[in-house]
Chain A
Amino acid sequence: MRPEQFILTGDYATVANDDNATFTITVPGSVVLAPGASMQWTETKQVGVQGGFDILQIEYTGSNGRLAGPITILERTGTAIYNVRFQVSRTSPTEITAFAEIFNGSGSTLTTNSSPITATFYVSTFIPPFS
């Protein structure tokens, strides 16, 4: 019988949700980046425990709901097309950091779109099933 036909059983490990946090980052408009340069915007909070797993949903300006998944990459057009990358990482035993990053992969100076993007990160953390 498949395990989830049981509501509760002591025979299988599980993941326990121990903490939740919301992060908000605004990526300003009209950022100027030299060729090959990158810029990051971050917010760090105490959430979860060392080794904890997390799942993420991201809502950003114009997203029409939230996107579920560890990474979201937006495509925007400034003086060239570029990506805005959102993700979270455990950056210390007690902290998670939310990141927004733009990288100028073109061979000329990039000025990003004049519209800022505000992204809200909804993070749920889980006790890992490892000792």
Chain B
Amino acid sequence: MDYDARNFLISGDFPLDKIVYLGEYSVTLTSFQIDFKEIPHNLTFTPLMMAQWSTFSDFRVAYGINAGPSVGIGRDFDTTIEADGTNIIISTQNRTTSTATVYYRMFAFMPSNVNEVAPFTSVEGDDYIINSDRNYMKLMYSDTATLGTTQSIVIEHGLGYHPRVMVWHTAFSGAVRPHFVNYPDSNIELLVRVTTATVTITNKNQFGGSMDVHYRIYADEA
């Protein structure tokens, strides 16, 4: 790369993120009630989901999946999202003592190892306006890998700064979910480490076997 892509809002050398699925969901749960919802995504592939949740319909306060207000070692709400070839699967538990409504907003990308027709998600002509006040994610690398137990993949980006990274992985169920937690001191889940030269993704799931991972590395600085 002969120029610094960070200095440009968009770049002709890198594609922009294209969202292939947009959706919303809400559920009202009594205290300690659990909801397990399958929503058909109507795509011909397993999408890479991103989502956030809130107890406000306007998302004035909002959390990432599996994050949220804590109650000791647990959380007020347990939230997970994943997808398989047919459905988006959302599970929610209200761990508070009150009835609450949990709202989800979700979107998805197409995996890099898929080459399918995807429905358009920009339904109005003015949905996609390049605004010079904003930066648009410049996708530099996207790929998939299968990692055996404790195995790593090292991607040498050579940017000299910490790029933004998104990672998804197969869960125990076989569905694909966004990476949401790093346990650097334990053999649990996945670890995603970013330096100014490399991105290292490690399957730390000591007893869980191999794991498929999908990653997206951007020319934008985190």
Contacts and interface: CB of A to CB of B under 8 A. Distances in A.
Contacts, number: 209
Contact of B65 (A15, A70, A72): A70
Tell me the interface secondary structure of chain B in the complex. Answer: loop
Interface in A87-122: 87-93, 99, 101, 103, 105, 122
Contacts of A87: 64, 67
Contact of B19 (A52, A54, A90, A129): A129
B185 A74 contact: yes
B53 to A, nearest CB: 11
A99 B67 CA distance: 11
Determine the interface band of chain B, counting residues with CB < 8 A from chain A: 35 or more
Max chain A Cβ within 10 angstroms of own Cβ: one of B14, B62, B63: B62
Given A7-B16, A10-B122, A122-B162, A130 B73 contact: no
Interface in A1-46: 1-18, 36, 38, 40
Given A66-B162, A89-B68, A16 B131 contact: yes
Rank and list the top 5 A-B pairs by shortest CB-CB distance, nearest first. A3-B18, A51-B59, A12-B18, A70-B64, A75-B185
Interface of B: 10, 12, 14-20, 22, 24, 50, 52, 58-70, 72-73, 105, 107, 110, 112, 114-118, 120-122, 125, 127-128, 131, 133-137, 139, 142, 162, 164-167, 179-186, 191-195, 199-200, 220, 222
